[in-house]
Amino acid sequence: MKRLYIYLLILSVLTSCDDGFMDRYPQTSIAPEEFFKSEEDLALYVNGLLQLPGMGQYEQDQSSDNLATTGAIEVKSIMTGSPNSQNITAGWDWARLRNINYFLDNIANAQASQEAINHFEGLARFYRAWFYFNMVKRYSDLPWYGELLAPTDEALYKPRDPRALVMQRILEDLEFAAAHVREQVPSGTPGIWAVKTLYARVALYEGTFRKYHPELNIQETAQALLTIAEDVSQEIIASGNFSIYQTGNPERDYATLFNSLNLVGNPEIILVNPHDVSKDRSSNINYTVFGTYEQSPSRDLVQTYLMRDGSRFTDIPGYETFLYVEEFQDRDPRLSQTLVYPGWVRSPDPGPFIPLMNRNFTGYFQQKGYNNTIDNVDIGSLDFPVMRYAEVLLTYAEAKAELGTLTQSDLDASVNRLRNRAGMPPLELTAANSSPDARLMEKYPNVSGPMTGVLLEIRRERRVEFALEGYRFDDLMRWGAGKLLERIPEGMYFPGLGKYDLTGDGVEDIILIDKDSNIPSDPQKETNSLGERLIYYRAGTVNDNVTVYLRNGVNGGTLVTETAPRQFMEPKYYYRPVPIQQVVLNPNLEQIFGWE
């Protein structure tokens, strides 16, 4: 208990420093040699550094084209406002790095085996690599601090180091961690395979970022990083420790990963964030992912899913005007395991859920991560899959496709395992490359070469497999596809005023009436053939006082979520400015890519 108190005091002093600038040294009466004495001490401190993504990841796609949002999301504010270093001030926070470097500076004091010291050093360097990776994604060039600095150290006022140097240090940390972190670790903490999964993720991200971002002038270094991504993901595959979770039920297996009370031991899960209300670890995200609070899935996401037979939904004549019920017919089963489908029943309701319409929302509802129960304990006890084997397979396939070495056997060992789980036909290399999807080519015009078709399909697979899990924004950034964020998310399509079936039983559930009409009281509302009152909505444009916005008002169209024009300035908006307060403290921190 005494050692826990000492640890908490040390960590408190470290994190109480100025989070915005590394100009403090931990001032404590407890000397490091009094704490870092044993393997137990090392474990106690490193466990305190554990930070894993949780259910809030389902909100991260608000920054992407997967979701419409009414929230004040940074990238949306940037595209619709006048961004600068004075009004973009979040993110430049170094407290976590100080905690990590403090540990690394003192780990050698412990009386422990070299194997144990290497393991805990590997974990700390894994956390440092993850921290810096997130910072690079935001700022690109950064000052690299590999040790804790005294307040008089001139290095505190150093300029930004080049992105390539910082990434080299990140990869060195991950390489060390991959060589020394143990395989057997406590549940819910990262072991060697989680380390290697991040290693492959970082290498893929940076390799593709360099390839598709000529403003960095380091495109020639992309191939080496993509090779690392291929090699490390192949190593995870070859270990045989993981497999795609499936029980032979393609209508349910995928969804099980996101509504399970216990993912420990699931063969697909490389790293889990366990939750249990009884242990004060709640994962309740129901209010966010389901309903009309900030976020709603986009129609563009819905249209990305293939038909069940593997053909393209967007190749069907007239798909642009399909109604809600038509959109879900004969589609990739993952669509109906990610979004609410016609006929879905919400507990404890006796009948099918009728999607609610609301201004600025799409009409689509998310069920991924939603626990369809009224049991509050179960609602708050869903485990979150932090790292899935599915990511490793798609990293492997994408890296090989970018390198131009992807074969059909590679696809069968990666992408097609995911498609098999979903009951979908396999992706054929020759067919994909001989007939690339024109709609995807329009989305990603910078993709070229003989692997164009299969690369586009792998990107589709990533979007579908990881839909609403928080991957999409990073993917768009590394692919140089920020312009896609200029397209304002749209919702369901309605050809005009009238009655519509939203449950798939052929019976109308709602009625759209003119903006100038009054919604009648319940006794005067029309009923359908089941004797149920229709749900009334007044429809018009965003300038009208109505309950739903349609693109063409009473003449129909898609549901409109917002109208403020968006502009994604390239390459500037792939990066963020250093907050002006930090530049004042350290004038050597120069802005890049046109930020002021």
| Percentage with pLDDT > 90 across the chain | 90
Contact predicate 529/502, CB 8 Å: no
pLDDT band at 10 (very low <50, low <70, confident <90, very high): low
Residue 214 maps to a domain: yes
Q: Are residues 430 and 507 in the same domain?
A: no
Token pair listed for 287? 């209010």
Tokens 């692997």, residue?
451
Reduced to 3 states (helix: H, G, I; strand: E, B; else coil), residue 66 is coil
In whole angstroms, what is the distance from residue 201 CA to residue 301 CA? 23
Provide the pLDDT for residue 336.
98
Give the pLDDT confidence of 40-68 residue by residue, as tens digits.
Answer: 999 999 999 999 999 999 999 999 999 99
Give the pLDDT confidence of 551-595 residue by residue, as tens digits.
Answer: 999 999 999 999 999 999 999 999 999 999 999 999 999 999 999
Q: Are residues 450 and 509 in the same domain?
A: no
Give the pLDDT confidence of 196-229 residue by residue, as tens digits.
Answer: 999 999 999 999 999 999 999 999 999 999 999 9
Q: Are residues 393 and 251 in the same domain?
A: yes
Residue 519 maps to a domain: yes
Q: What is the mean pLDDT of residues 427-456?
A: 98
Cα→Cα distances 174→99, 169, 179, 320, Å: 18, 9, 9, 46
Q: Are residues 393 and 266 in the same domain?
A: yes
State the DSSP H helix or E strand holding residue 153, giving kind and residue range, or none if neither: none
Show the 3-state SS of 296-338.
Answer: EECHHHHHHCCECCCCCHHHCCCHHHCCHHHHCCCECHHHHCC
In whole angstroms, what is the distance from residue 577 CA to residue 592 CA? 7
Q: Are residues 264 and 393 in the same domain?
A: yes
Tokens 């798939």, residue?
504
Average pLDDT value for the chain: 94
Q: What is the mean pLDDT of residues 404-429?
A: 98
Provide the pLDDT for residue 51.
95
pLDDT band at 22 (very low <50, low <70, confident <90, very high): very low
Q: What is the mean pLDDT of residues 270-296?
A: 88
Cα→Cα distances 525→293, 435, 572, Å: 28, 51, 53
565, with CB counted inside 10 A (0-12, 13-18, 19+), is exposed
pLDDT band at 13 (very low <50, low <70, confident <90, very high): very low
Tokens 């393997």, residue?
39
First to last CA, the chain: 50
State the DSSP H helix or E strand holding residue 151, giving kind and residue range, or none if neither: none
Q: Are residues 265 and 403 in the same domain?
A: yes
- Out of 452, 470, 488, pick the residue that ends a domain: 470
The answer, yes or no, to whether residue 247 has pLDDT greater than 90, is yes
Cα→Cα distances 294→23, 62, 72, Å: 38, 9, 9
Give the pLDDT confidence of 296-354 residue by residue, as tens digits.
Answer: 999 999 999 999 999 999 999 999 999 999 999 999 999 999 999 999 999 999 999 99
Provide the pLDDT for residue 279.
82
The answer, yes or no, to whether residue 32 has pLDDT greater than 80, is no
pLDDT band at 29 (very low <50, low <70, confident <90, very high): very low
Provide the pLDDT for residue 278.
84
Show the 3-state SS of 491-534.
Answer: EEEECCCEEECCCCCCCCCEEEEECCCCCCCHHHCCECCCCCEC
Q: What is the mean pLDDT of residues 273-279?
A: 90
> Exposure string (b/e) for 96-112, b if CB count within 10 Å is 16 or more?
bbbbbbbbbebbebbeb
Give the pLDDT confidence of 161-210 residue by residue, as tens digits.
Answer: 999 999 999 999 999 999 999 999 999 999 999 999 999 999 999 999 99
Q: Are residues 199 and 238 in the same domain?
A: yes
The answer, yes or no, to whether residue 453 has pLDDT greater than 50, is yes
pLDDT band at 3 (very low <50, low <70, confident <90, very high): low
- Out of 402, 435, 470, pick the residue that ends a domain: 470
State the DSSP H helix or E strand holding residue 388, giving kind and residue range, or none if neither: strand 384-388
- Out of 555, 573, 591, pick the residue that ends a domain: 555
Provide the pLDDT for residue 18.
45
What's the domain count of the chain? 2
In whole angstroms, what is the distance from residue 562 CA to residue 144 CA? 41
The answer, yes or no, to whether residue 89 has pLDDT greater than 80, is yes
Residue 215 maps to a domain: yes
Residue 439 maps to a domain: yes
Provide the pLDDT for residue 35.
87
CATH classification of the domain holding 193? 1.25.40.390
Residue 482 maps to a domain: no
> Exposure string (b/e) for 487-496, b if CB count within 10 Å is 16 or more?
ebbbbbbbee
Q: Report the relative pairing of strands 557-560 and 490-494 from DSSP bridges.
A: antiparallel
Provide the pLDDT for residue 19.
43
Residue 448 maps to a domain: yes
Q: Are residues 415 and 549 in the same domain?
A: no
pLDDT band at 280 (very low <50, low <70, confident <90, very high): confident
Provide the pLDDT for residue 24.
40
Q: What is the mean pLDDT of residues 386-390?
A: 98
Task: Enter the DSSP assignment of 142.
Answer: B
Residue 369 maps to a domain: no
Q: Which domain, by its residues, includes 427?
A: 183-270+389-470
pLDDT band at 7 (very low <50, low <70, confident <90, very high): low
Residue 3 maps to a domain: no
Please list, in sequence order, all residues whose beta carbon lies within 8 angstroms of the beta carbon of residue 148, skipping any fewer than 6 positions away.
Answer: 25, 26, 98, 101, 102, 105
Provide the pLDDT for residue 59.
93
**Cα dihedral 183/184/188/193 (nearest 10):** 10
Q: Are residues 463 and 502 in the same domain?
A: no
Q: Are residues 264 and 395 in the same domain?
A: yes
